[in-house]
Amino acid sequence: MNIVVTGADGRMGRMLVAEIAATEGCRLSGATDREGSPAIGQDPGVLAGIGETGLKIVDDPATVIAQADAVIDFTSPAATVNHARLCAQAGAALVAGTTGMSHSDEEALYLAARHVPVIYAANYSAGITLLMNLVQKAAATLGDDYDIEVLEMHHRHKVDAPSGTALALGKAAARGRKVNHDAVKQAVRDGHTGARPKGEIGYATLRGGDVVGEHDVIFAAEGERLILGHKASARRVFAAGAVRAALWTKDKHPGVYDMNDVLGLKDQEAEVVTEAERHV
């Protein structure tokens, strides 16, 4: 599979370049970065510390996406929207990991998904994917007698808050409770806030140092707390998941998918239901 990495000079971009080189069944066929980046014209493999690839980073994504089977994109919302359009035109699958996307930005992904497979996830870690499922089940089981708080910490350079992963965890909790997430979300507390409303899903954001990513979902009730959490110590887990997702798109129909599809969790749930029905 020929894979293009956008934002190849970023932290995730370099990690993706290295992960593709180490993964059987795929090859780096192109790399891009923003116009004016000092990385333009440089070899992405050299920047990633894996040696020369014979490729050069370009600032015209259309030229390399046209030859790709899949594109892995961890850039910015505006860039991802453009890359989604180019993927749809070229027939290349898109693996999108950009956070901070607005509803209108996401609409561009859904439009592209009419033509190509699009995997859209806030986090490509297998552990986080499993955590989201656990959070949804816990929220459904415990009910609104338990207050839900999502605590996250990232490195000082992260520009969006709460993190995309934190919001995805909060949305998983809202699905478990069968409520509208935006109606119960509380991401800012300052001053005299009054008592915490029942059913609210709160967020607390920490930033500092070089923290890759830490997320805890706290279910707090009278007399007990349940804490479900995940800590990432290396970005490689995200890169490995994204490359796995890109390979998974081979022979898939157009549509929007997530890491539950990639990991087979949706299929497993269907099989469990089918097996249970046989015993009714």
Q: Is 129 annotated as a binding residue?
A: no
- Using CB atoms within 10 Å of the CB of residue 37, give its burial: 0 to 12 exposed, 13 to 18 middle, 19+ buried: middle
Q: Is 249 annotated as a binding residue?
A: no
H helix or E strand, kind and range, residue 229: strand 224-232
Catalytic positions: 154, 158
Which residue pairs, CB below 8 angstroms and at least 24 apart, start in 269-272? none
Q: Is 80 annotated as a binding residue?
A: no
Q: Is 120 annotated as a binding residue?
A: no
- Using CB atoms within 10 Å of the CB of residue 182, give its burial: 0 to 12 exposed, 13 to 18 middle, 19+ buried: exposed
Eight-state DSSP code of residue 188? -
Phi, psi dihedral angles at 228 (to 5 degrees): -110, 125
Q: Give the C-alpha separation, 183 to 196, whole Å.
A: 14
Q: Is 165 annotated as a binding residue?
A: yes
Q: Is 10 annotated as a binding residue?
A: yes
Distant-in-sequence, close-in-space partners of 45: CB < 8 Å, separation ≥ 6: 17, 21, 28, 51, 52, 53, 55
Q: Is 21 annotated as a binding residue?
A: no
Q: Is 9 annotated as a binding residue?
A: yes
Q: Is 99 annotated as a binding residue?
A: yes
Q: Is 98 annotated as a binding residue?
A: yes
Output the CA–CA distances (angstroms, integers) from residue 154 to 161, 200, 205, 226, 241, in the order listed.
10, 23, 8, 22, 19
Q: Is 234 annotated as a binding residue?
A: no
Q: Is 23 annotated as a binding residue?
A: no
Residue 151, beta-bridge partner list: 204, 216
H helix or E strand, kind and range, residue 47: helix 44-48
Distant-in-sequence, close-in-space partners of 3: CB < 8 Å, separation ≥ 6: 20, 26, 27, 28, 29, 68, 69, 70, 71, 72, 243, 246
Binding residues for (S)-2,3,4,5-tetrahydrodipicolinate, as ranges, are 155, 164-165
Annotated binding site: 7-12, 97-99, 121-124, 155, 164-165
* Residues of the binding site for NAD(+): 7-12, 97-99, 121-124
